[in-house]
Amino acid sequence: MPTTERNAPIDVPRGLKGVVVTDTALGDVRGLEGFYHYRQYSAVELAETRTFEDVWHLMFHGTLPDAAGRAAFTARTAELRRLPGDVRDALPAIARSCALAGPLAGLRTALSLAGASAGFRPLYDIDADRRRADALAASALVPTLLTALHRLGQGLAPVEPRADLPYAANYLYMLTGQEPEPARARAIERYLISTIDHGFNASTFTARVITSTGADLAACLVGAIGALSGPLHGGAPSRALDTLDAIGTPERIDPWIRERVLAGDRIMGFGHPVYRTEDPRSRMLKEIARGFGGPLVDFAVQVEERVEAILAELKPGRELHTNVEFYAGVVMELCGLPREMFTPTFASARVVGWCANILEQAEDSKIIRPAARYTGPPPPQPVPAI
């Protein structure tokens, strides 16, 4: 219950659900409608009609570029993809140290090093132009770091980025060493666009909290990556696909799902903390998957239908549908991405959204400093003697 006493703590829901913490011009999620947008445009429509660089420009500069603006921005960001020499030299050791944890864990260390190497200064101490330059450099560098760390972890040499390839195609090229088929590159591009931003999720909020302290941009991004790594946030695309593998065959769908639901287990790839209808990202990715076709897609659609029916039966009154992670895993599998790179691929797009939020938050000098309710033994108590 809120109190009228000035500066006194205010009780809020667990997880800050529904609590408005700031104003933003970057976008919003309207969960009851199954709709989300980047600035004034439908995010799904942008994914269907525009390039990744177009939407990157929109998030950073507030406008969609024309043809000339697109060419200039694409060329500028492509120039920023190459790793500095000292960062490149350190990557083998980082990859070895993170052999078990994977590229996303390595990215935290590599990005800290890259920020220090580039001379990133506290956001509090630099002007808006320098902040944007740092954000552009970090966003362009993250895909190169991720793919290099993955390849090193596989005993392969990193692949140098190509300035003649657009963002998504270059990402797949650096990952595999081969120029991707246009259909696969476009499928991944649409996925990447659809995941650039999505309201005040845990990683975005983390980035903005760190930004409010005035820290440098790399520090803000490393915190966001840490939040994204959790399986309840960005760590679920591969787990959703693992669910399909565990079920295995159509006749096992019902008993497998019923057993998990009755045991109180979460079915990865289903449900969302905001959407109370179908996740629009899932709907788009399902369409992309069906465009490829094949046994995996057919089985995924069958599992989706049965899971939703069983959840409706066992949890009546709750709207539980596929979220972005379910068909994201299917699409990435069809496009040849290894599962350990599903969440890192998510991060390679979300870094643009994080940076846009960091730039916006940096305009506000107020530090984010909530309160907590103490529930331990009543103080003060005597300190016991030894």
Q: Which of 189, 272, 321, 333 is catalytic?
A: 272
CA angle 296, 300, 306 (to 5 degrees): 145
Query: Is-catalytic flag, 272?
Result: yes
Query: Is-catalytic flag, 308?
Result: no
What span, in angstroms and rounded, lies between the C-alpha atoms of 142 and 297?
A: 30
Amino acid at 142: V
What span, in angstroms and rounded, lies between the C-alpha atoms of 54 and 29?
A: 20
What residue spans of the chain are helical by DSSP H? 43-49, 52-61, 67-79, 85-97, 103-118, 128-153, 167-176, 182-194, 202-212, 217-228, 237-247, 253-262, 280-292, 295-314, 324-334, 342-361
H or E element at residue 28: strand 27-30
What span, in angstroms and rounded, lies between the C-alpha atoms of 148 and 164?
A: 19
CA angle 329, 111, 90 (to 5 degrees): 105
| SS3 assignment, position 367 | coil
The total of other beta-carbon atoms located within 10 Å of residue 113's CB is: 18
What span, in angstroms and rounded, lies between the C-alpha atoms of 116 and 120?
A: 6
**Bridge partners, residue 320, by sequence:** none
| DSSP annotation of 92 | H
Q: Which of 53, 189, 304, 325 is catalytic?
A: 325
Total residue length of the chain: 386
- 319 near 271, Cβ under 8 Å? no
Active site (catalytic) residues: 272, 325
